Amino acid sequence: MFGINGGELLVLLVVAVVVVGPERLPHYAEQLAGWTRQLRLVLSDAKQRLSDELGPELGDVDWATLDPRRYDPRRIVRDALTEEIQQVRVAGFGAVSAVQEATDIARGRTAAPGSDVPPREPSEAGPAPFDDEAT
């Protein structure tokens, strides 16, 4: 609390007792107790009003998941990227299969739908030549 350890707090209390004096100390202690009671009443009233205005949904909130100590940006980014990759895979699966089918038809490995031409075998000549000037 305020960066003060137990020994420092004890020294501050002793200095306060010496400065204030034994005559005024009971009066100041009584004032401090009154302020503490008032602060507790204000805080409990604010808490009650907040719970009244937010309604029963406030009880449904899982506060542990909102704890900033559990925030790990690497995990959040990894989960988001994994989710996006899964969405792309699902959406792109049909496109990939259509491209693969079109490539197979163009290479003659399968017959085009509705065609009477039998599929031809790929040539044994090897891959197409490489054009190093192509963009």
Candidates 62, 60, 58, 80; CA nearest to 70 is 62
Which residue carries 């031809």 as its tokens? 120
Q: Helix H segments across the chain?
A: 6-20, 25-54, 73-107
pLDDT tens, position by position, 60-99? 778 787 788 877 888 888 888 887 777 766 666 556 666 6
**C-alpha angle 60-61-66 in degrees, rounded to nearest 5:** 165
DSSP 34-57: HHHHHHHHHHHHHHHHHHHHHGGG
pLDDT tens, position by position, 25-65? 889 889 999 999 999 999 999 988 988 888 777 777 787 87
